[in-house]
Chains A and B, each alone.
Chain A
Amino acid sequence: MTGDPAVRCTGLRQQFGDTVAVDGLDLEVRPGEVFGLLGPNGAGKTTTIRMITTLLPAPPGAIEIFGVDVARRRSAVRRMLGYVPQQLSADGTLSGRENVALFARLFDVPRRERTAQVDAVLDAVDLLDVADKQVKTYSGGMVRRLELAQALVSAPRVLVLDEPTVGLDPVARDGVWERITAIREATGMTVLVTTHAMQEADTECDRIALMHRGRIRALGTPAELRGAIGPDATLDDVFRHHTGDTLADRSGGLRDVRAARRTAGRLG
């Protein structure tokens, strides 16, 4: 398994009725990198993420996490993953510590290590001081950091973040990325992130794949992608170049819009 990519997708395909959401996607994410999956709504990013995280079925051999086949060994794959969905998913009734401890139990973190591990990840996201307060008293940025702690408590090898900063103000957004960067440096884990925020992708991702209509249209470092378009090009230009700018293409599904609005609503 040494030398295996963190994530490898080979000819990945997913179809809902007549709609092809992912259309023969080939992708390799290197161990230890921050890899951004970009694209307009409906490009197939979330479907890809859901297949990688075992939420949607994948055919045997189509996805491997550090060489382990997602279709054949789902449980082993899940033990290597930490997942933060787009929505704010922490339980507001419980305290921050209880939220993290729940996931420590669900990942079978041994009892003798559990308390220390929960405290360590809460400390890593700067929430140790407020760990015993109910999450409904937290700000949106704090909830996002708490969700990072939930995903990290099992010491995952791959952290999967679906639009982690949607709806956050710039300060909270920077706070989330500062923690992700620090944690990645401390642990060497791989980060796979989907985002719509081009500036964020430009500054935070080591490499980017730009998806459109279920396929990867461009792949490389932010500098390589910008350079391929022109000397003064931004990632916004790269995005427009590869996806076109027709309204129909960008409208996304009702479900995507609802999910984004719900998240923004909960963040206030």
Chain B
Amino acid sequence: MSVLPVAPPAASAEDPGPLGILATAVRRVATMCLVELQRLRHDRSELITRAVQPALWLIVFGQVFTRIHAIPTGDTPYLDYLAPGILAQSALFIAIFYGIQIIWERDAGVLSKLLVTPTPRIALVTAKAFAAGVRAVAQAVVVLLLALVLGVSLSANPLQWLGVVAALLLGSAFFCCLSITIAGLVLSRDRLMGIGQAITMPLFFASNALYPVELMPGWLQVVNHVNPLSYEVEALRGLLIGTPARLWLDFGVLVLAAAAMITIASSLLPRLVRG
């Protein structure tokens, strides 16, 4: 047997203050993102299967609506207009069911084990949220490659691509934490699956992913304005195909929404563990 590490004689570590929690959160985010990449490396098939639905949206819906010019998008071809929306949708679909993984982790004892590490709840939830973002970004690569093959004109500016990654991470973090929050309330996989299915399409249709806001009826425009997905799509569209975007507002809303939802999800984590 190799020489085993032996514990120090006494616990000297103090509980971390706000700065300590922030530093821990950064380290945990890096750890969980690494684990997500390791999982993807071991099982790449999910990237392909999850690409089927966005591929259908781009190949069938996008190409047909481009030909019939049913949705006015100015000088921008409809397929180009649609691609960032489908990118956001694919990230949304990954993140919104992340709560199911949390419930599985609770049932399998993984969550308990994670919570017995020196990781503040909020750091753990933040790490999970950005791990979902990493998976969404990996998925986005597949969707964007498909968009390029279909002839969508995408920006070549690397800074804008970094912005795309940031928007996807923040959007996924919000929806992942929304999912963890629902998991903390309903406590069962079946109920979460039902609610997840019930809210994903309304979130998608009540956003600017498929059509310009101006085409929406008044009540839908109101919903669109409080839907974080719309800000994510606007940022992605501005960065990827150069349409007008209020990037400061978009990223401001995404940062605030993600921070708020991380806080709410963290507060429900103990309930989830007890449930």
Hey, which bits of chain A sit against chain B, CB under 8 A? 1, 50, 53-57, 65-66, 68, 72-81, 83-89, 91, 93-95, 98, 102-103, 105-108, 113, 117, 119-121, 123-124, 134, 150, 152-157, 182-183, 186-189, 259, 262, 266
Would you mind naming 12 contact pairs between A and B with Cβ atoms under 8 Å apart? A1-B11, A73-B11, A80-B11, A88-B108, A93-B43, A94-B38, A103-B117, A105-B31, A106-B114, A107-B118, A124-B4, A266-B108
What per-residue 1/0 map shows which CB atoms of B1-25 lie under 8 Å from chain A? 1111111101111111000000000
Complex CA gap A229/B177 in Å reads 55
Contact at B109–A66, with CB atoms within 8 Å? no
Contact at A150–B120, with CB atoms within 8 Å? no
Minimal beta-carbon separation of B157 from chain A (angstroms): 34
Minimal beta-carbon separation of A212 from chain B (angstroms): 23
Complex CA gap A68/B13 in Å reads 11
B39 at the interface (CB under 8 A from A): yes
* Secondary structure of the A contact surface, majority rule: mixed
Interface size classification for chain B: 35 or more
Contact at B38–A157, with CB atoms within 8 Å? no
Contact at A75–B107, with CB atoms within 8 Å? no
Q: List residues of chain A with CB within 8 A of the CB of B108.
A: 87-89, 262, 266
B56 at the interface (CB under 8 A from A): no
Specify the chain A residue showing the minimal Cβ separation from B112: A85
Specify the chain B residue showing the minimal Cβ separation from A86: B109
Contact at B113–A189, with CB atoms within 8 Å? no
Known: A81-B116, A85-B113, A124-B2. A74 touches B15 (CB 8 A): yes
Q: List residues of chain B with CB within 8 A of the CB of A56.
A: 274
Hey, which bits of chain B sit against chain A, CB under 8 A? 1-8, 10-16, 27-28, 31, 34-35, 38-39, 42-43, 107-110, 112-120, 270, 273-274
Q: List residues of chain A with CB within 8 A of the CB of B7.
A: 80, 155-157, 187, 189
Q: A79-B13, A83-B116, A87-B109 are in contact. List 12 more A-B contacts (CB 8 A).
A: A66-B10, A66-B11, A72-B15, A75-B14, A75-B120, A76-B13, A83-B112, A83-B113, A89-B112, A107-B117, A124-B2, A155-B6
Complex CA gap A87/B105 in Å reads 10
Q: List residues of chain A with CB within 8 A of the CB of B42.
A: 93-95, 134
Specify the chain A residue showing the minimal Cβ separation from B120: A75
Q: List residues of chain A with CB within 8 A of the CB of B16.
A: 75
Q: List residues of chain A with CB within 8 A of the CB of B116.
A: 53-55, 78, 81, 83
Contact at A79–B11, with CB atoms within 8 Å? yes
Specify the chain A residue showing the minimal Cβ separation from B20: A75
Q: List residues of chain A with CB within 8 A of the CB of B1.
A: 123-124, 182, 186
Q: List residues of chain B with CB within 8 A of the CB of A187.
A: 4-7
